[in-house]
């Protein structure tokens, strides 16, 4: 049976980043990914990075292209009641965010791992984990037409919401918390210049809209939509018309449209599992928590988990003390719940939940208050640029 120190299930951002950070600490690891390399590289998802995530990617030595190609955003706009208000992130917090696609991060990490000779297996099917409550966990999987077995010290469950790791924990050992939202996001990507240099989050009585981008020539736009609406009901022309209506008029007038190169509908949910550790299994990223994309926290939380766990494991392998790994869940969850709260709050403020005009008036009143109060704006901006990382698990015992 093959052996490694850490078996990582899933080659999304959390799995790849953890693998790279552990490698730089001299910790042997194997990554098993169910999908093909092309499939993982082609998935279009998040795009807004907190400075803390940029820092950890630099620490992982995969920041060169990011620094060259990212768009640095010092602020974003809130659209409501026919007007647009700029939230000055830099002025309020001293920090900015970076726009750089998750697809690009995944590519950079995959290339770095392969260049370093990583044991990174795509198309690894039927992954099953065992012995997680013992000192010798195992992973069984099918690859290249053969069943393989791996023994390890730890398993990192980086396999997303639908993965196998969280489901391998006895139900009574973990508690989940969930909120399903009664709508989804219809997103399109188009090779047209963004309508604005910064993101616009728009509250409108017809529903929420978001103007985002991936580069100066590639736009990413979203509309709040019904969960049961088929994609075919949204030809490009209808999408552009509806987006224009939901933006402040002076913005909508300058919208440049074009053929979509990607179109999809994603449901929105908040989900947290506690604890994020069971025996020798750690959960990271979407395997442990999901937030609605309003607030752009999903990818950033995944990066924060990888940062925390690699520090904890490095401490364990250096000292033999389990103190750091024992505190992994507690330290991650404190920050996770704050991001869950912020994403829920921002979603509640900007989306249409019912036809009730009273609710919409309350949202407008809150937006009016927010944009008129430096204190309220600072609180929002602090959360948007990213709250400080928790105390590293090794800090106390150094
Ligand atoms: C459509 C969409 C849009 C999003 N937009 C945003 C956004 O704008 N901003 C934001 O911050 N976040 C966004 N997110 C969330 C963000 O993309 C995730 O939080 C992020 O991908 C989490 O990374 P991860 O590595 O934890 O999980 P994932 O990226 O889900 O990676 C998990 C990996 O595990 C693999 N896997 C699953 N099961 C198995 C198995 N049994 N065996 C082996 N491998 C397995 C999967 O194939 C996948 O590659 C979006 C998510 C989606 C789905």
List pLDDT tens digits, range 276-309: 999 999 999 999 999 999 999 999 999 999 999 9
Distance from Cα 140 to the centre of ligand 1, integer Å: 22
Backbone angles phi, psi at 219, to 5 degrees: -105, 150
Task: Tell me what the pLDDT averaged over the chain comes to.
Answer: 95
- pLDDT-derived band at 395 (thresholds 50, 70, 90) equals very low
How far is residue 384's CA from residue 394's CA, in Å, rounded to a whole number? Answer: 27
Strand partners, 211: 200, 221
Asked if residue 300 lies in contact with residue 49, where contact means CB atoms within 8 angstroms, the answer is yes
pLDDT in tens, 74-91: 999 999 999 999 999 999
State mean pLDDT over 98-113: 96
Among 309, 334, 337, CA closest to 324: 309
How high is the pLDDT of residue 44? 80
Continuous segment of H or E residues that includes residue 175: strand 175-190
Q: Calculate the alpha carbon distances from 198 to 73, 99, 263, 355 in Å.
A: 6, 10, 21, 30
Q: Please identify, by atom number, the ligand 1 atom nearest to the C-alpha of residue 220.
A: 8
Distance from Cα 200 to the centre of ligand 1, integer Å: 24
Among 246, 187, 248, 241, CA closest to 218: 187
State mean pLDDT over 39-64: 93
Nearest CA to ligand 1 atom 8: 46
Asked if residue 222 lies in contact with residue 187, where contact means CB atoms within 8 angstroms, the answer is yes
- pLDDT-derived band at 43 (thresholds 50, 70, 90) equals confident
How far is residue 276's CA from residue 328's CA, in Å, rounded to a whole number? Answer: 8
pLDDT at 113 exceeding the cut of 60: yes
Among 324, 325, 337, CA closest to 288: 337
- Where are the alpha helices (H) located in 25-95, listed in sequence order? 37-42, 51-59, 64-69, 89-93
How high is the pLDDT of residue 140? 98
Binding-site residues, ligand 1, Cβ < 6 A? 9-15, 32-35, 40, 45-48, 102, 124, 127, 158-160, 163-164, 266, 284-286, 293, 296-300, 302
Please state the separation of Cα 128 from the chain's center in Å: 25
Active-site residue flag, 100: no
- pLDDT-derived band at 42 (thresholds 50, 70, 90) equals confident
How far is residue 64's CA from residue 81's CA, in Å, rounded to a whole number? Answer: 41
pLDDT at 393 exceeding the cut of 60: no
How far is residue 29's CA from residue 215's CA, in Å, rounded to a whole number? Answer: 34
How high is the pLDDT of residue 397? 40
Continuous segment of H or E residues that includes residue 283: strand 281-283
Q: Please identify, by atom number, the ligand 1 atom nearest to the C-alpha of residue 301.
A: 19
How high is the pLDDT of residue 234? 97
Asked if residue 77 lies in contact with residue 201, where contact means CB atoms within 8 angstroms, the answer is yes
How far is residue 14's CA from residue 97's CA, in Å, rounded to a whole number? Answer: 19
State mean pLDDT over 39-68: 94
State mean pLDDT over 59-66: 97
Active-site residue flag, 73: yes
- pLDDT-derived band at 54 (thresholds 50, 70, 90) equals very high
Nearest CA to ligand 1 atom 14: 46
Among 111, 9, 97, 100, CA closest to 46: 100
Best probe residue, ligand 1, of 286, 291, 296, 386 (max atoms within 8 Å of C-beta) = 286
How high is the pLDDT of residue 390? 66
Distance from Cα 304 to the centre of ligand 1, integer Å: 14
pLDDT in tens, 194-243: 999 999 999 999 999 999 998 899 999 999 999 999 999 999 999 999 99
CA angle 32, 264, 53 (to 5 degrees): 50
Q: Please identify, by atom number, the ligand 1 atom nearest to the C-alpha of residue 124.
A: 43
pLDDT in tens, 305-364: 999 999 999 999 999 999 999 999 999 999 999 999 999 999 999 999 999 999 999 999
Backbone angles phi, psi at 87, to 5 degrees: -90, 115
Active-site residue flag, 201: yes
What percent of the chain shows pLDDT beyond 90?
Answer: 94
Asked if residue 287 lies in contact with residue 166, where contact means CB atoms within 8 angstroms, the answer is yes
pLDDT at 394 exceeding the cut of 80: no
Active-site residue flag, 182: no
Q: Three-state secondary structure along 118-156?
A: CEEECCCEEEEEECCCCCCCEEEEEECCEEEEEECCEEE
- pLDDT-derived band at 396 (thresholds 50, 70, 90) equals very low
Strand ranges across the sheet with 48-49: 48-49, 97-99, 71-73
Distance from Cα 342 to the centre of ligand 1, integer Å: 20
Nearest CA to ligand 1 atom 29: 12
Active-site residue flag, 204: no
State mean pLDDT over 152-181: 97
- pLDDT-derived band at 392 (thresholds 50, 70, 90) equals low
Distance from Cα 286 to the centre of ligand 1, integer Å: 6
């Amino acid at each position: 049976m093959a052996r490694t120190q850490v078996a990582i299930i899933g080659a999304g951002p959390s799995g790849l980043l953890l693998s790279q950070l552990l490698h730089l600490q001299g910790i042997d690891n194997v990554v098993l990914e169910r999908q093909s390399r092309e499939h993982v590289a082609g998935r279009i998802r998040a795009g807004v990075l907190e400075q803390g995530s940029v820092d950890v990617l630099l620490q992982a030595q995969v920041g060169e292209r990011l620094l060259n190609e990212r768009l640095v955003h010092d602020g974003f706009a809130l659209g409501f009641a026919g007007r647009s208000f700029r939230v000055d992130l830099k002025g309020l917090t001293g920090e900015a965010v970076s726009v750089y696609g998750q697809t690009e991060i995944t590519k950079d990490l995959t290339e770095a791992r392969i260049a370093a000779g990583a044991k990174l297996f795509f198309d690894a099917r039927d992954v099953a984990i065992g012995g997680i409550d013992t000192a010798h966990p195992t992973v069984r999987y099918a690859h290249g037409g053969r069943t393989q077995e791996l023994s390890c010290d730890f398993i990192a469950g980086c396999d997303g919401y639908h993965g196998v790791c969280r489901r391998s924990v006895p139900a009574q050992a973990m508690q989940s918390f969930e909120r399903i939202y009664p709508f989804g996001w219809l997103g399109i990507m188009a090779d047209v210049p963004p309508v604005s240099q910064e993101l616009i989050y728009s509250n409108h009585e017809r529903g929420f809209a978001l103007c985002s981008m991936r580069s100066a020539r590639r736009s990413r736009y979203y509309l709040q939509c019904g969960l049961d609406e088929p994609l075919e009901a949204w030809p490009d022309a209808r999408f552009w018309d509806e987006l224009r209506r939901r933006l402040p008029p002076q913005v909508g007038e300058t919208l440049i449209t074009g053929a979509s190169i990607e179109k999809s509908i994603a449901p929105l949910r908040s989900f947290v599992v506690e604890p994020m550790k069971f025996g020798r299994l750690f959960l990271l990223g979407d395997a442990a928590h999901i937030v609605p994309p309003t607030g752009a926290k999903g990818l950033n939380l995944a990066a924060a988990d990888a940062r925390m766990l690699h520090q904890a494991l490095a401490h364990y392998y250096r000292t033999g003390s389990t103190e750091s790994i024992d505190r992994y869940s507690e330290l991650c969850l404190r920050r996770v719940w704050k991001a869950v709260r912020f994403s829920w709050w921002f979603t509640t403020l900007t989306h249409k939940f019912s036809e009730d005009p009273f609710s919409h008036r309350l949202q407008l009143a809150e937006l009016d208050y927010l944009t008129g109060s430096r204190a309220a704006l600072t609180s929002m901006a602090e959360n948007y640029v990213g709250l400080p990382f928790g105390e590293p698990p090794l800090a106390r015992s150094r």
